[in-house]
Amino acid sequence: MTLETDKRALKTDNSRAASNAERYRLLLSQLIALVDTRKCEELNIEDVMLHARSGAIAILLGELFQHTGSFNVFTQDDWRNFNDEIARMANAADPAQKITVTNKGIALLMTWAAEGIRQQV
């Protein structure tokens, strides 16, 4: 590998991380819009964790986003990535990596979106 190849690879990695962070920023903004509709007030932690741990968070988000019309802002790849990445967060074995939200399902989703942003920057 040459120095130029290393620079291009680093630039590609940086742009991918920026794109992933932007995807999570968009998810967070859509979750905030969902809170504004009050269509998620009964969303509980258990349902969110069940979907997240099984790698099916996209199903839950799709059901929630039908109230805001936001489902179509994400690609199929985005949904697959959310499923995989949020499942990893939900199934984290290290206590330092566990999210400690315990009451509201929407708060847990928003926390994972914020964590997704943090991991990319």
Binned at pLDDT 50, 70 and 90, residue 45 comes out as very high
CATH tag, 3-120? 1.20.120
Residue 10 in this model has a pLDDT that exceeds 50: no
Q: Are 5 and 105 in contact (CB under 8 A)?
A: no
**Where do the H-state alpha helices sit in 38-104?**
45-53, 57-65, 76-90
Average pLDDT, the chain: 82
Q: How many CB atoms lie within 10 A of CB 117?
A: 17
Distance CA 41, CA 71 (A): 19
Q: Are 112 and 104 in contact (CB under 8 A)?
A: no
Q: For position 50, what pLDDT does the model report? A: 95
Distance CA 96, CA 21 (A): 21
Residue 6 in this model has a pLDDT that exceeds 70: no
Amino acid, res. 104 = K
Express each pLDDT in 23-42 by its tens digit.
Answer: 999 999 999 989 998 888 88
Residue 5 in this model has a pLDDT that exceeds 60: no
Structure tokens at 80: 């697959």
Q: For position 70, what pLDDT does the model report? A: 62
